[in-house]
Structure 1
Amino acid sequence: MVIIPTEKRFEWEHAPIVLFVIVLLNILIFALYQSNDDAKFERALVSYEQLQYLDYEWPIFETYLSEQSDGSDSQQLQDYRELYQQQHTAELGYYVLSDAGFYHYLKANRQTLPVPEDFGYWENRAEIHDQVQSVSYLAFGLKPNDLNPITLLTHQFLHGDTMHLMGNLFFLVICGFAVEAAIGHWRFLLFYLISGAAGGLLYMALNLNSPTTLVGASGAISGVMAMYLGVFRLKKIEFFYWFFIFVGYFRAPALFILPFYIGKELYSYMTDLDSNVAFMAHTGGFIAGGLLIMLALVINSRILDEEYIEEDQQIDPRQQDLAQIYLYIEKYRFDSALKAIDKVVEKYGPCFDFSLLRYNLLKLQKGDGYSDAVQALLREDRLRPQQLKTVDEIWHDNPELQSQLDDEALLKLGWKLTALPDISTADQIFALLNSRETRGRPLGHLARKLARLHGDLGNNLKKKRYASIADQLQQS
C-alpha cells in the first residue's frame, strides 16, 4: 500500500534548489561512478577463482568467522559451509572478497598461517582486495560492523540499481519541494542528511553481524516524508493512496499518518524476513525526520514559512473529477463511474487515460458499449510508447472486434504500431487490409515502411515481399 502526501503543487516561486542538487548528485554518481561496479568485481572474482585461492583461504575463513562469534558456529558460518560443500565457489568467493575484515585478518596473522603454494600470493591477493574495495558500495557504503562518519553520509548517495534510484528520487521529489519551501534550503539539507544518518545507525544497531552493506537514500527520504507531515502537523491535508486496484485521494490530519508509516515498516521488518529492503533504515529516517521538526519548533516556533503552509492551492478540477471516479470504483459503483467518465470526456474532451478507464470497467462485463470502448482506444492518436504497448495488447485481447475497424482506422493503427520494437501486429494489420483487397498509395506507404523495418531487423525475405507489394500499390 502506498500513501503519499500531495497537498502542495510545485511552484517556481519556491524553487527547491537543494532538492535539485541532491537529485542531480544521485543521478550523476550512479551514472558516472557506479556504472563500472559490476565489471570491477567480476574481474576481481575471476582472478580469485583462476588462482584457486579459495581452497587455501577457506579453512582460515572458517576460523576467522568462528572467532568473530566467540568460538561458536553462527548461522552465517553454517550457510557458508553449505555453499562450500555444494561447490558454489563463485557465490562463496563473493562473500569472502566482500569481507574486508577477513583480508586484514589474513595480513595480521601472516606469520602464523600456512605458507601459500603460490609465491606471489600476497601481492596478487592485495591487488584483488584493492580492486574489490574500489567498488562503490564497499568503498562508500555503510557496513553494519564498521561505524564510520564518512560512510554515514556517503551511503545516502549510492544505489543498488536503476529502479532503486528512480523509486527513491520519485518519493524525494514528490515530498521534498514542499518541505524545502517550508523550512528553508540549508535546514532542509541538514535535516535530510541527519535523517539518512539516523536511518543508517538504526540499521547498523539491528544488523551488527550482517555482511550486507547498506546503500540508498531511503532513510533520508523517509525523514523528508516525516518532515512533510511534521510541517503540516494537525492540519488536514491531501493524500494520494494506492491499494491493489483501489486508487484515489483523501484528506486527514497530517501527523495521523506518521504512525502508519512507522508501523508499516516495523510490520514489514518482522514479517518479510527474506527481503533485501532496509526497513529499519526507513523506520530510523521516519523517526528522525519527525523529531527534527518537533525539536526545531520547540527551539524556534517561527522557523516554518506559515504563509506557504497555510496557502490554499487551487486543486486541479480534472484531478478532482478523476478522484471521484476512483471513489465510485472503490465502492463497486461501476455504472456511476462510467457515467462520471462520460461527463469528464464531455467536459475536457477525449483522453487516452479516460478511454482506458472506461475500457477496463466495461471489460468486467463486456456488455453494451464494450465494442465502442475498444474501438475508441484503437483510434486514439498521439500515443506515448507505453500507451502504444497498451493499445497493442488491447488489439490482441479482442480478435473478434478487429474486423469492425474500417480501412482508414486500420491503416492509421498499423502506422502507429510500427513504432513498437515488435512490429508483428503491424504485419497482422497489413495482412488484414490486404485480404480486404484494399488498394492505394497509403497502403503502399505502409508496405514501404514495413519493408524498411524488416530490413533493419535482418528479415530479408519479408523486406523483399513488402517492397514488391509497395511497388505494385504505388503503380496502381
Structure 2
Amino acid sequence: MLIIPAENTINWKRPPWVTLGLMFACLLVFLFYQGGDSRKLEQAVDAYVDAGLPQLEEPAYEDYLQRKIRFEGDDERALELRQFQQLREEGEDFWLSASLLMDREFYHYLLQNRDIIWAPAERMHWLEQRSIIEETYIQRLSANQLGLIPAKLSLYTLITYQFLHGGWGHIIGNLLFLFLLGFTVEKALGPGRFLLAYLACGALSGVVFTAFSLGSFIPLVGASGSISGLMGMYVAIYGLQKIRFFYFLGVYFNYFRAPALAILPVWLGKEIYDYWFAGATGVAYMAHAGGLLAGAGLVWLLGKSWLQVREEFFEPEESEQDERFTTGYAQAMASLGRMDFDLARRQFEALRENYSDRPIVLEHLYKLAKLRPDLPEYQSRTRELMNDAQSRRQPEQMVAVWQEYLRKGEEHHPLAAEDHNRVLFASLKQHDMKAAEKAFERLRGADDPLLTSEACRLLVEEFEKLQMAPKAQHYRQLLQAG
C-alpha cells in the first residue's frame, strides 16, 4: 500500500529551484559518473574469468551461503543460494561471476578464511589475482567509492551516497517522490534551509542505517533516506492540520483527508515491519525509518528558530485568493446596492486587510469616506489614495484626487504641506504648470518655509526652461522676499 501527501499544487511562477536542482544533480551523476560502472564491471568479470577465479570461489561461495543459513539462521541467504544454483545450472557464467565479485560480505569472508579454504598455491594465486581486480576495477565502482559503507563510515559519504542510484527504476522512483514532496517543503522552508535540511536528513538516515548494519561492507546508495526525511518534514510542518493523502492499493487508488501527523506512525511502522519481515529485498528500510524520524525531529526541534516555516506558506493559492476576493467583493457591492453604507464600509475594510494590493477596494473606501467630507476619515483615505496613485505611477489620478479634496474636505481638515508638495512635483513632471502653481499657493498657506522656498526655486527653473520670463520673474521675487 502506498500513501503520499497531496495537499499542494506547484506554482510554476515560483519554481522549486532547489528541488529541481537536486533532481538534475542526481540525474547527471547517474548518467555521467555512474555510467561507466557497467564497463568496469564487464572488464572485472573478464579479468576474473581469465584468472580462473570462478573455479576457486564457486565451491567456497556455496559453502559460505550454507553456513550462513545453517549456523546463523540467515534466511535471506537462502534466496541467494537458490539464485546461485539456478545461474550455475543455466550456464549464466557472466552473471554468476558478477554475483561473486559484487558480494562484498563474501569477499571479506574469503580474506579472513583463505588459509582454511585453499592450499598454499591456490591461496597465493587467488590473493594476487583478486587484489589486482579489486584495485583496478571493483574499488573504482561508484558505489564503492562514494557509497555509504557501514564498516568504513566517513563523513563525506554521508552526503555523496544520496546522489548515487542502483539503476533506472531506482532513480526514476526517487526523483518522482523528490519532486512530489520537495516543492512543498521547499516552499515552506525557503531554498537555503530546505537544501541543508534535505542533506541533514540524508546524513542522519545514513547514521541510523549504519547503526543497524555495523560491520557491513555492502554500500548504501540512493536518495531514499533524504526523501523519507522530506516526508517526515512534510507531516511535521502541517502538524494536526487535516490534509489530503493519495493512496494506492493494488489497482485501486483514491484520496482521503487526515491529520498530517497521524500518518507518521503508519509510515514508520511499515518500514520497521518490513525491516523484520520483508526478507532480502535490497531495500534499506531502517534508512527510511531514520529519515522519517530525522525530518520530523528537525522540524519539531528547530521549527521555532532555524527551521521556522515561512508565514506565506500557509496563505491560500492565487486561484483560491481570487475566489475569496470575488465572493467578498460581491457581498460588499450588494451592501452598497442596498444603501447599507456602514456594512459596506466594514466589508471593504476587511477586504483591504487581506487584499491590500487591490486598488479597487481603496477606491470604494475613498468614495464611502467622501460621503462625509467633514470627518477625518475622508482626509486619511485621500492620502492613502494619493500614495497608491503615486506608487503605481499615476500622477494624473493623484492630482485629480487632491483637487477633489480641496473642493470638499480642505475646509474641514486641511492637508499637510508634504501633500501639496508631492502634488507640485507630480505636476511639474507632467508639465501641468497650472496645477503646479495651485499646489504652490496651498503650500505657501501651509506655513513650511523650507518646502516653500524649494518649490519656488523649482518653479523659477521650470518657467525659465519654458521661456516664460514674467512667470519666472514673479517666483524669483517671491524667492528673494522669502
Cα distance in structure 1, aligned partners of 2:87 and 2:238: 57
Question: Is the CA contact (8 Å cut-off) linking 1:65 and 1:77 kept in structure 2?
Answer: no
Cα distance in structure 2, aligned partners of 1:196 and 1:121: 38
Alignment-derived partner of residue 139 in structure 1:
145
1:255-286 superposed Cα distances (whole Å, 9 cap, x missing partner):
22211111222222233113222221111111
Cα distance in structure 2, aligned partners of 1:62 and 1:306: 61
Q: Is residue 241 of structure 1 aligned with residue 247 of structure 2?
A: yes
Q: Is residue 290 of structure 1 aligned with residue 302 of structure 2?
A: no
The partner residue of 1:176 within 165, 177, 182 is: 182
Cα distance in structure 2, aligned partners of 1:59 and 1:247: 48
SS in 1 for 2:27: helix
Shift of residue 289, structure 1, vs aligned partner:
0.4
Shift of residue 31, structure 1, vs aligned partner:
1.2
Structure 1 window deviating more from structure 2 (215-224 vs 4-13): it is 4-13
Segments of structure 2 that go 5 or more residues without pairing to the other structure are 321-482
1:342-368 superposed Cα distances (whole Å, 9 cap, x missing partner):
xxxxxxxxxxxxxxxxxxxxxxxxxxx
Shift of residue 59, structure 1, vs aligned partner:
8.8
Q: Is residue 255 of structure 1 aligned with residue 232 of structure 2?
A: no
Change (3 A) 1:74 1:289: same
Q: Is residue 272 of structure 1 aligned with residue 315 of structure 2?
A: no
Alignment-derived partner of residue 314 in structure 2:
309
Letter matched to residue 269 of structure 1: Y
1:412-441 superposed Cα distances (whole Å, 9 cap, x missing partner):
xxxxxxxxxxxxxxxxxxxxxxxxxxxxxx
Alignment-derived partner of residue 335 in structure 2:
none
1:88-108 superposed Cα distances (whole Å, 9 cap, x missing partner):
476664455336688789889
Alignment-derived partner of residue 6 in structure 2:
6
Cα distance in structure 1, aligned partners of 2:217 and 2:96: 12
Shift of residue 222, structure 1, vs aligned partner:
0.8
Alignment-derived partner of residue 29 in structure 2:
29
**Structure 1 residues 74-93: aligned runs within 5 Å:** 75=74, 88=88, 93=97
Question: Is the CA contact (8 Å cut-off) linking 2:37 and 2:142 kept in structure 1?
Answer: yes
SS in 1 for 2:248: strand
SS in 1 for 2:156: helix
Alignment-derived partner of residue 382 in structure 1:
none
Change (3 A) 1:122 1:306: same
Question: Is the CA contact (8 Å cut-off) linking 2:228 and 2:289 kept in structure 1?
Answer: yes
**Structure 1 residues 338-357: aligned runs within 5 Å:** none
**Structure 1 residues 348-367: aligned runs within 5 Å:** none
Alignment-derived partner of residue 16 in structure 1:
16
Change (3 A) 1:75 1:279: closer
Question: Is the CA contact (8 Å cut-off) linking 1:83 and 1:92 kept in structure 2?
Answer: no
Cα distance in structure 2, aligned partners of 1:184 and 1:85: 53
Question: Is the CA contact (8 Å cut-off) linking 1:232 and 1:309 kept in structure 2?
Answer: no
Question: Is the CA contact (8 Å cut-off) linking 1:98 and 1:138 kept in structure 2?
Answer: no
Question: Is the CA contact (8 Å cut-off) linking 1:181 and 1:308 kept in structure 2?
Answer: yes
Cα distance in structure 2, aligned partners of 1:96 and 1:192: 35
Shift of residue 165, structure 1, vs aligned partner:
0.7
Cα distance in structure 2, aligned partners of 1:102 and 1:244: 37
The partner residue of 1:152 within 142, 145, 158 is: 158
Alignment-derived partner of residue 43 in structure 1:
43
Question: Is the CA contact (8 Å cut-off) linking 1:8 and 1:313 kept in structure 2?
Answer: no
Q: Is residue 204 of structure 1 aligned with residue 210 of structure 2?
A: yes
1:1-26 superposed Cα distances (whole Å, 9 cap, x missing partner):
22222222112444322112110011
Cα distance in structure 1, aligned partners of 2:285 and 2:108: 31
Cα distance in structure 1, aligned partners of 2:227 and 2:264: 14
1:50-82 superposed Cα distances (whole Å, 9 cap, x missing partner):
21134456799899999x99xx77849986999
Question: Is the CA contact (8 Å cut-off) linking 2:229 and 2:295 kept in structure 1?
Answer: yes
Question: Is the CA contact (8 Å cut-off) linking 2:185 and 2:230 kept in structure 1?
Answer: yes
Question: Is the CA contact (8 Å cut-off) linking 1:203 and 1:278 kept in structure 2?
Answer: yes
Question: Is the CA contact (8 Å cut-off) linking 2:105 and 2:216 kept in structure 1?
Answer: no
Letter matched to residue 162 of structure 1: W
Structure 1 window deviating more from structure 2 (128-137 vs 234-243): it is 234-243
Change (3 A) 1:3 1:298: same
Shift of residue 127, structure 1, vs aligned partner:
3.2
Shift of residue 298, structure 1, vs aligned partner:
4.4
Change (3 A) 1:234 1:181: same
**Structure 1 residues 280-429: aligned runs within 5 Å:** 280-299=286-305, 303-312=308-317, 314=319
SS in 2 for 1:241: strand
Cα distance in structure 1, aligned partners of 2:281 and 2:57: 30
Q: Is residue 127 of structure 1 aligned with residue 157 of structure 2?
A: no
Segments of structure 1 that go 5 or more residues without pairing to the other structure are 316-476
Cα distance in structure 1, aligned partners of 2:236 and 2:72: 46
Letter matched to residue 305 of structure 1: R
Structure 1 window deviating more from structure 2 (51-60 vs 104-113): it is 104-113
Give the fraction of aligned pairs with identical amino acids, expressed as a percent: 40
Cα distance in structure 2, aligned partners of 1:285 and 1:218: 8
Cα distance in structure 2, aligned partners of 1:147 and 1:34: 21
**Structure 1 residues 212-251: aligned runs within 5 Å:** 212-251=218-257
Change (3 A) 1:103 1:6: closer
Structure 1 window deviating more from structure 2 (151-160 vs 141-150): it is 141-150
SS in 2 for 1:149: coil
Letter matched to residue 51 of structure 1: A
Change (3 A) 1:213 1:126: same
Q: How many residues align?
A: 314
Shift of residue 138, structure 1, vs aligned partner:
2.0
The partner residue of 2:101 within 97, 102, 117 is: 97
Letter matched to residue 53 of structure 1: L
**TM-score normalised per structure 2:** 0.55
Question: Is the CA contact (8 Å cut-off) linking 1:144 and 1:211 kept in structure 2?
Answer: yes
Backbone CA RMSD of aligned residues: 3.9
Alignment-derived partner of residue 466 in structure 1:
none
Cα distance in structure 2, aligned partners of 1:121 and 1:24: 42
Shift of residue 220, structure 1, vs aligned partner:
0.3
Change (3 A) 1:101 1:280: closer
Structure 1 window deviating more from structure 2 (10-19 vs 89-98): it is 89-98
**TM-score normalised per structure 1:** 0.56
